Chain A
Amino acid sequence: MRNHFKTPLSRHPLRLVLMALGSAVLMSCASTDVAPIEAQAKPDDTTDEGGIWYVTDKVEKDLQTSAIVERDPALNEYVSAVACRVTGPDYCKDLRVYIVKQPYFNASMAPNGMMQVWTGLLLRAENEDQLAYVLGHEFAHYRQRHSLKQWRQAKNISNASLVFSVGAAAAGAGAAGVLGQAAALARLYGFSREAERESDDLGFDFFVAAGYAPGEAARTWEYLIAEAAESSSRRKRKSVARASIFATHPVTTERVENLQAKAAALPAGTPNRADFIAATKPFLQQWLEQDLTLRDFGSSLFLTNRLIEGGDALGVLYFHRAEIYRLRRASGDSDLALADYQTASQYEDTPPENWRQMGDALAKAGKTDEAKAAWTTYLEKAPNAPDRLLIQSYLDPDGA
């Protein structure tokens, strides 16, 4: 790296080159001070924002035709209505909400108005108010044009770090060049937190203005922190998962306290649980099954126990908890699983599979007669079960 420049200019070339480079780069320094986007506004095609929309429109087209999107009309109508209540009628037309079948707690906002709500979030929200707060937070990213700000910031930082790295390389300080990059990255990250803070505040205002219960905003984060602490994955317990909302929304005590303080100054309000449960209940079993595919038994158990405390859909929940124990196979789990299959069998909404699994568990415990009774109930409840012949062979091994 030393003596990098051996041109005739090399007596004092570095300062000259850096000055010239600095002014060349400054020609393109973009303003990061952008005003909120107006309702029903579209950027001009000739701008950087127009380019960002052009690219995200294509991403949206791909998403629209993807199998990963939950298309159930009733659920989509419900979630979109909550979004509209938070954004108000004008901005409502600018947002398109997609429910994405992913078992992580996440939601995201694209600069063109494409909002994603992941099913892992719907599984973990306790009421409409908690959902509404997250949607308000995401809407604030859109309204404040955070993507555009972030892009311009990235552009300016990378321009500045170009000057810095050329200067550092020329001065023979390779390590300083690397450090320059690290510092630039840290600044990008810092900006992102700033945007999160702004979205926390604005999202809170939108959701309170829409009439939701202020205390529910912090509760979502409190729950997520508690669930992460119970995770079976040490990495998740320590740093909290990638591909979850934490990756882009680092939850800090400061953020939770900020929301708690804002809520404390306002009347409590009553969260709307009934509508939320009615809209999401038909999907509960499916979402729980998807959650279990992550094989994070600690976090799944924590979640299921909290849902059981909620007191809705208990047949589905006890069956699911039994399945967690069955798959975890820790010492004593067979007994726990059997107990939960038996509890589940007392409810109306229990899936038929509960009796098949209960039969298997009873047979393993040596209770043959009770096992046969459970299998018989299974076939009564699911006469077209794909494993009917197999179960019949258990009931009548001789095939009489």
Chain B
Amino acid sequence: MTGAISIFKQIRLLIFIAGLGAVITGCVSSSVNTTSNSHEAPKSGAQILLMQPDVELSLLTASGLREPRADWSKQAQGLIIAEIEKNLAGNGHELRQHSLDTDNAHEVQLIKLHEAVGNTILLHRFFNQPLPSKKDKFDWSLGPGVATLADNYDADYALFIFARGAYASAARQATALVLAVAGVGVGTGDQAAFASLVNLETGDIVWFNVTVTGSGIDMRRPSGAESVVKGLMKDNPLTTHATDKAKS
């Protein structure tokens, strides 16, 4: 049941990626949303809880099936964490990594809730199925129940990351070459990711960004992960705050 829903969403995501990926090989595009609820900019020295990034990278087989690769996924997960740390360094905030305690039922439910809300935002904000009730506003929230996370980890914000990518196998690349001769375009890989920043006092998703890259960028490598995270963290209030402070 839930499996069917997430597969549906993944397919939507893939269609989305395929459309954009074909156009923008080698570049990064971002789409930033910020909360329309009243919200104060993060104070200097805010504590940021980095939730374990959900990363799944696959091999794109000759016919286009996506075969998950554990080593690539784990490698990219590590690189993304390192890049996030780098990206937020020097902004006066403190980053700490979250490790899930599966016995803490409330915490588990909060993470699942975020996944559900994040997928809903993706579906209705980015996949051309706008919700009438969300017109001209971005007021998504996990609710004040997130205060548990704030208390348990002494944190002000939680940062969630979700990333998917596919890289062509040698056979896929050969297939693409052969079919290109015949005038048929075949995709050779793509990456998509989203990040969301949750205010742990109100539960509001204060900033949400989707990033899509073409096959020229490879987040299995440090340079690729850097590009993806740079696109992913675009205009996030944690960095913006520091910039504003520098300006003023």
Binding site for B on A (CB under 8 A): 5, 7, 9, 13, 17, 20-21, 23-28, 45-46, 48, 50-55, 58-59, 61-62, 64-65, 151, 154-155, 158-159, 161-162, 166, 170
Contact = CB atoms under 8 A, between A and B. Distances in A.
Given A24-B62, A28-B171, A54-B73, A155 B67 contact: yes
A28 B69 contact: no
Given A24-B62, A27-B174, A55-B56, A48 B67 contact: yes
Contacts of B169: 27-28
Contact of B70 (A23, A51, A64): A51
A38 to B, nearest CB: 19
Most buried by B among A24, A46, A161, A162: A24
Contacts of B74: 45, 54
Contact of A27 (B62, B64, B67, B181): B62
Contacts of B63: 25, 155, 158-159, 161-162
B131 interface: no
A124 B177 CA distance: 56
A27 B71 contact: no
Contacts of A166: 179, 182, 184
Interface in B145-198: 169-172, 174-175, 177-179, 181-184
7 contacts: A20-B178, A27-B169, A45-B71, A48-B67, A54-B74, A64-B102, A166-B179
B178 A50 contact: no
Contacts of A46: 69-71
B70 A24 contact: no
Contacts, number: 103
Interface residues of B, number: 35
Contacts of B69: 45-46, 50-51, 54
A5 B62 contact: no
Given A9-B182, A55-B56, A55-B68, 19 more contacts: A7-B181, A7-B183, A20-B178, A20-B181, A24-B171, A25-B63, A25-B171, A26-B171, A27-B170, A27-B171, A28-B169, A28-B172, A46-B70, A50-B69, A51-B73, A54-B73, A58-B56, A65-B109, A155-B65
Nearest 8 interchain pairs by C-beta: A51-B68, A24-B174, A28-B171, A54-B70, A45-B71, A27-B171, A45-B70, A162-B63
A52 B68 contact: yes
B61 A7 contact: no
A154 B65 contact: yes
